[in-house]
Amino acid sequence: MDSQTSQSSQPSLPSPSPRTFQVDLRGLVDLLSHHLYSSPKVYLRELLQNAVDAITARRAVEPDAPALVRLFAEPGALRVEDSGVGLTEADVHDLLATIGRSSKRAEGLQEARSDFLGQFGIGLLACFVVAERIRVVSRSARTPDAAPVEWTAADDGSYTVRTLPDDARPEPGTTVHLVARVGAAEWLAEDRVLALARDFGSLLPYDVRVGEEAVTDLPAPWDRPYPSPAARRVALGRHCHDLFGFTPLDAIELDVPLAGIRGVAYVLPSAVSPAQRAGHRVHLKGMLLTERAEQLLPDWAFFVRCVLDTDSLRPTASREALYEDETLAAVREALGERIRSWLAGLAAGDPERLAAFLAVHHLGVKSLARHDREMLRTMLPWLPFETTDGRLSLEEFARRHPVVHFTRTVEEYRQVAPIASAQGVGVINGGYTYDSELVEALPSVRPGTVVAELDADTVTAHLDAVDPAVELALAGFLAAARAKLDPLGCDVVLRAFHPLSVPALHLDDRAARHEQARAQAEEEADDLWAGILGSLRGEAPRARLVLNHLSPLIRRIGSLGEPELIGTAVESLYGQALLMAQRPLRPADSALLNRAFIGLLEWATNGEGDR
């Protein structure tokens, strides 16, 4: 008999009986409080959310039904009443007794689901974060003849269900009673409940009160009528100060009907780092979802803080953040377009407000303009840049200079700016964030503009050459100077330039600096690495020390006859030129400065003693 026949003849094993998970409710509550929710305060949001959803469900079939939510705080306890759809005993067994089951799945509620705030069915479970016992008394509006039902649960996972007499709950709706856990009574105190209810529910569409205190404050500040634009600006500024703690430079209306978004973006009054993640307040159908939404706007719009209400964005499981999906990406693009339009409007009609804004947030606009040619074209007359002519816009600088020279680093700019300015060469400092990218993009929005990176050769070419006879007379001095600086990878040239107060100018470029770094690494490396680094030696131009023949000091040094003194003087000029350029000093440069300083002191003291 073959193996297949043998296997088929074996008796089949009985199928194992299905089992259900046993849930440790205390452990689950601990998981929620420490990992899902950011704070115990979310319990009140869940209570408000359940009440509002119940009212929404009832109004789907009874449009004129009352819409009331009332919260009553007592020592160590809280009672929440709503006029919502209510539950029958069957609903209680089906919904409240099953962890993770959403009441939105109940029969007859599906048609209204898109209007509900909750989507995950965690519901009352979150209340165990602050409560040791929960009691729910409810009467169904869909089945008016059904008796009121009571569901009582403890944080050990046990619960009871029973029906009550009709007078226990005469009207449809639900009442939730919470009894505080040990150490959590402060979360049920009236002042805390009122503050949380206003924070979470100020934009809810129904009448919500804590005791006699109103919670809802409708319409939203951005939807209210105001007697004038100035009055609107003042009111929104006050609203921003209450929410975020600052008075904004301006308020930008956010209205995206297709995404169901209404709100406002407040412009920060002080500069912030582009890397700082902004926290925005997002309400979902009136309920505060999060006050730390970071992905709501494009990265370049770091200069605003938003508060808005939406009915289209999806929350994450904790309902404390936004789910990253195509809808959020589309909303982010639409809100970015709205902020972009606001900037264009300021440029076209309110230059004073635009100037005040750019004085603080030009970095954010530059970040936008480098990817958006239309925005760059719009902002050309306004964006400030550091130049040898002062702080100017690219438009103004390009009108003044036929060639727009720029440097890629701040060090290069400081190195050449005084000399270039004296020679009539305009230079833009492109070393700050985004600046060199915008300068290079200038021809794309201003046809005919010539842009060129300024290097050492260009600067040297703009300096006046010295008469050949003069340079020949100084050949010995120049030879000694070149020999002294050759170990440092630096050449010496003689030119005539202004201002006279600058005796020497140190010029190099990135290629020269890379070669210097390579040579230094080769000198400090072992034989193996020195060989490898030596093979990488390039033909990059060397740094150069440009001596100013118009300077009286250079003329006096050029007439010295002592080679040792000439060397010390040249080293001093080299060190002083490095310091003027504010360049980082290599160990060899620091040693040179120290040596030159000591040498000059020795020469001065010896000379004094001889006299």
Interhelix angle 42-61/190-201, nearest 10 degrees: 60
Could you tell me whether strands 280-284 and 304-310 are parallel, antiparallel, or unpaired per DSSP bridges? parallel
> Residue 102: which pLDDT band, with cuts at 50, 70 and 90?
very low
Buried b (16+ CB within 10 A) or exposed e, 177-207: bbbbbeebeebbbbebbbebbbbbbbbbbbb
CB 457 within 8 A of CB 511: no
pLDDT per residue as tens digits for the range 211-248: 999 999 999 999 999 999 999 999 999 999 999 999 99
d(CA 189, CA 209): 15
User: Tokens for 96?
Assistant: 């409240």
**Per-residue pLDDT, 327:** 87
- For residue 604, CA distances in Å to 182, 558, 599 come to 83, 18, 9
Contacts of 41 (CB under 8 A, 6+ apart): 187, 196
pLDDT per residue as tens digits for the range 307-316: 999 988 887 7
d(CA 51, CA 123): 11
User: Tokens for 476?
Assistant: 């010995």
DSSP designation for 23: P
> Residue 258: which pLDDT band, with cuts at 50, 70 and 90?
confident
pLDDT per residue as tens digits for the range 362-392: 888 888 888 888 888 888 889 899 999 999 9
**Per-residue pLDDT, 137:** 94
> Residue 611: which pLDDT band, with cuts at 50, 70 and 90?
very low
Indicate the range of 318-327, 513-522, 544-553, 572-581 predicted with least confidence: 513-522
User: Tokens for 318?
Assistant: 């904790």
> Residue 100: which pLDDT band, with cuts at 50, 70 and 90?
very low
Mean of pLDDT over the chain: 82
The kind and range of the H/E element at 290 are strand 287-293
With 0-12 / 13-18 / 19 or more C-beta atoms within 10 angstroms meaning exposed / middle / buried, residue 542 is: middle
**Amino acid code (one letter) for 285:** K
Contacts of 576 (CB under 8 A, 6+ apart): 503, 504
**Per-residue pLDDT, 104:** 45
d(CA 445, CA 371): 12
Percent of the chain with pLDDT over 70: 82
3-state SS of 336-395?
Answer: HHHHHHHHHHHHHHCHHHHHHHHHHHHHHHHHHHCCCHHHHHHHCCCCCEEECCEEECHH
- The three-class DSSP label of residue 572 is helix
With 0-12 / 13-18 / 19 or more C-beta atoms within 10 angstroms meaning exposed / middle / buried, residue 570 is: buried
d(CA 211, CA 517): 73
CB 404 within 8 A of CB 430: no
d(CA 33, CA 243): 26
CA proximity to 135, closest of 156, 121, 150, 157: 150
User: Tokens for 80?
Assistant: 């929440």
Higher pLDDT, 328 or 534: 328
**What are the phi and psi torsion angles at 101 (to 5°)?**
-85, 130
- Provide the whole-model pTM: 0.70
d(CA 95, CA 83): 19
**Per-residue pLDDT, 314:** 82
248-253 mean pLDDT: 94
d(CA 237, CA 232): 8
pLDDT per residue as tens digits for the range 11-65: 555 555 554 445 555 565 555 555 556 678 888 998 998 899 999 999 999 999 9
Percent of the chain with pLDDT over 90: 36
Q: What percent of the chain is helix, strand and coil (3-state, nearest 5)?
A: 45, 20, 35
- The three-class DSSP label of residue 77 is strand
